[in-house]
Chains A and B, each alone.
Chain A
Amino acid sequence: MCGIAGILSLDGAPVTGAHVEAMVRAIAHRGPDAQGLHVEGPCALGHARLSIIDVAGGHQPMTNEDGSLWITFNGEIFNYVELRHDLEQRGHRFSTNSDTEVILHLYEEKGDACVHELNGQWAFGLWDNRRRRLFLSRDRIGVRPLYYTATPTQFLFASEMKALCVNPAVRREIDLEVLDQIFTFWAPLAPRTILKHVSELPPGHSLSVDANGQQLQAYWRPSYRVDDRLKNADACADELLDLLTDATRIRLRSDVPVGAYLSGGLDSSVITALVNRLATDRLRTFSVTFDESEFDESRYQDDVVGYLNTEHSRIRCSNADIGDVFQDVVWHAERPIVRTAPAPLYLLSKLVRDSGYKVVLTGEGADEMLGGYDIFKEAKIRAFWASQPDSARRPQLLKRLYPYLQNVQSQPDAFLQAFFRVGAGTSNCFFSHLPRWQMTARMKILLSADAQARLASYDSLAELKASLPGDFDTWDWFARAQYLETAVLLPGYILSSQGDRVAMAHAVEGRFPFLDHRVVKFAASIPPALKMKVLNEKYILKRAAAAANLVPPSVTRRSKQPYRAPEAVSFVTPNRRGHLPEYVETLLAPDRVERDGVFNPVAATKLVAKVRAGRAIGIRDNMSFVAMLSTQLFIDRFINRAA
């Protein structure tokens, strides 16, 4: 795991290596073990290395036998052992034991199509000197990040936007339409980013750049087609477990020790159990716990640690801890965020690093692939109700939703029903997500009059709709909901703000067996009725886990509790030294809000007062506050200070 950067001169002029070195320095946190640079005429590639595979020989940028190809690569190719064997059979000779070199030889063999052979998480830039062409690629799901931009004379790319921003020719300007997207979907719609002149290479895409310009190509996207063969639940669970076991096995390939995150939920517990079965040494596990019982899962963590006998370390996160680190979190996330949940994971990755570990396996992706999120359950109840809209009993099931949210549970039935009675039935392509998106989008009321006027004709849902796969309308609502989670929220928030960025802030690499593309493909073929049996989420995974005695029964029987963290209260709770975070006062002061121009200072002041008075008890108020504060932090670090 590393940081990558590069510059291609568009007018053929030689590139100055020092410019790429400056970009690499901006993302040095991603790769503290070594830095490398290769300059060749119009192209310069840079690399910050986190040494994990072939620690001695895997330096980058790396070239092939004849020096015609150079690569700078961030990520892991987990099937590199098998790919190397095949390539050697075809006559390729390797000079290192790294997975990086496998990409070079595979590109020699298959060109751009090499990416179809890769099982892993990657972002790379490959300079093909013979064709005078730069080839960029990003993994299928979007585990590893890759951004790019162009000035009149140069094309630039890097793992993080901050590396692009060191170049004074790169214009830094907020894209209000993307802010609208984040204030609706929680995530930007790639390739757009919150910076108007910076693009993100979307997951499952490659981009080539040469004298003819840029060519963006999709090589993979999520697709859902039920396999009738999988109607037998036991057979389905067995096959899932086999695939997950192999996905975990190849994700243990590493020349440094590998640990695991353990939240106490089903997904990370299953992965921890599989690692434990495959590992030879006693497994090291890590978790975060909370002062507030509403968020804390340490009881279940203890159950799993006891059951699997792992060596466990935990970090306790107070409300004030979140306030203390939130500005660093936004610096790493590089976008406004609507929840504080990345902050405890930022603290957790520091614990991992301080414990001497660089690599952790986690349970990310299970909720998207196997139907675990509450939004699927919510949509299922709404769909059931929509088929008999006059039924008095069907909407009673809404009370089964969000058992961990006291405020939802105490809401009067009539209002609960009115809140969820949104959308024109399951035929609406966004049926599953409309209540959530509409509620989130209400936070746009905080925007300044100017920002609202500039967004008056913008429709984020229309933009998303235009990007959907051609056969989207033929999928059932469950598949459509899964697609929206997998294509929008997963790469745009879960794997980025809450994943890569807060882990790599402390040079920790996450690996995700549930996101092995073989698992993803198989999961997409499981009938929805087996993913969620009645209202029992991730039924097939629970069945597989129970059959193999992977986790204690308390974990398979517990009700779903999504990972959450204390929100607005974190910024009005004094820390251990008795201080409130100073940046909150500074960035949300009315004159500052007015000067930055995005929010209405009167509205901002009233929301701040509500939070300070302890009256911000609702989800929307909390999201609004976190979104506003993180936007102000982003403007401060990426727009104002850079200028």
Chain B
Amino acid sequence: MTLTMPQSVQSEIRTFVIENFMFGQGAQLKDSESLLEAGLIDSTGVLELVGFLETTFAIAVADEDLVPANLDSVERAARFVERKLKESSIAG
């Protein structure tokens, strides 16, 4: 379970990015690719991404979390969600 969950998170985020920002045309997208450098998210893209993460994974994204280190690639976003989920499970 601990091995499969991050993959599932990553694949859900990947699907969202491809569907929402690339309209399904993202087969070539690497999970480590910078979404900003690839021009995939515009001025509102990060807001859409955060909205998706909060709704789908029931996490709360704080202002200080809103940095490229957490959200600028599929991989980073997945690690960020995983960390948040762990934190909430420990807290809970």
Contact = CB atoms under 8 A, between A and B. Distances in A.
Interface of A: 405, 407-408, 410-412, 414-416, 418-419, 438-439, 441-442, 445-446, 600, 602-604, 606-607, 610, 615, 617-620
Interface stretch (B4-12, B20-28, B73-81): B20-28
B66 to A, nearest CB: 3
A445 B19 CA distance: 12
Contact of B42 (A414, A446, A604, A620): A620
A606 B24 CA distance: 7
A617 B40 contact: no
Contact of B36 (A408, A415, A600, A606): A415
Given A414-B68, A438-B39, A604-B23, 11 more contacts: A407-B44, A407-B47, A415-B46, A415-B66, A418-B68, A419-B43, A441-B39, A600-B23, A603-B25, A607-B23, A617-B47
A411 B39 contact: no
Interface residues of B, number: 23
B23 A606 contact: yes
B24 A602 contact: yes
B68 A617 contact: no
B57 to A, nearest CB: 18
Given A418-B72, A419-B36, A442-B39, A411 B23 contact: no
B42 to A, nearest CB: 4
Contacts of B45: 618, 620
Contacts of A411: 43-44, 46-47
Contact of A619 (B40, B44, B71): B44
A260 to B, nearest CB: 34
A410 B47 contact: yes
A412 B66 contact: yes
A618 B48 contact: yes
A408 B43 contact: yes
Contacts of A442: 39-40, 42
A600 B71 CA distance: 28
A419 B42 contact: yes
15 contacts: A407-B47, A408-B44, A412-B66, A415-B66, A415-B68, A418-B36, A439-B39, A441-B39, A442-B42, A445-B22, A610-B23, A618-B42, A618-B45, A619-B42, A619-B43
A620 B38 CA distance: 14
A405 B43 contact: yes
A442 B48 CA distance: 17
A606 B16 CA distance: 12
Interface in B34-70: 36, 39-48, 63, 66-68
A418 B37 CA distance: 8
A639 B41 CA distance: 34
Contact of B43 (A407, A446, A610, A615): A407
Nearest to B45: A618
Contacts of B36: 415, 418-419
A412 B46 contact: yes
Contacts of B67: 412, 414
Contact of B48 (A441, A604, A606, A617): A617
Contacts of B22: 445, 603
Nearest to A418: B36
Contacts of A604: 23
A620 B41 CA distance: 9
Given A412-B63, A415-B36, A617 B44 contact: yes
B89 to A, nearest CB: 26
Contact of A618 (B19, B39, B43, B68): B43
A184 B41 CA distance: 16
Nearest to A405: B43
Contact of B23 (A412, A441, A446): A446
Nearest to A412: B66
A439 B25 contact: no
Contacts of B41: 415
Contacts of A617: 44, 47-48
Contacts of A441: 39
A615 B23 CA distance: 13
Given A408-B43, A439-B39, A617-B44, A600 B25 contact: yes
4 closest pairs, A vs B, by CB? Answer: A412-B66, A618-B44, A603-B23, A606-B23
B25 A445 contact: yes
Contacts of B20: 610, 615
A445 B47 CA distance: 21
Contacts of A619: 42-44
A601 to B, nearest CB: 10
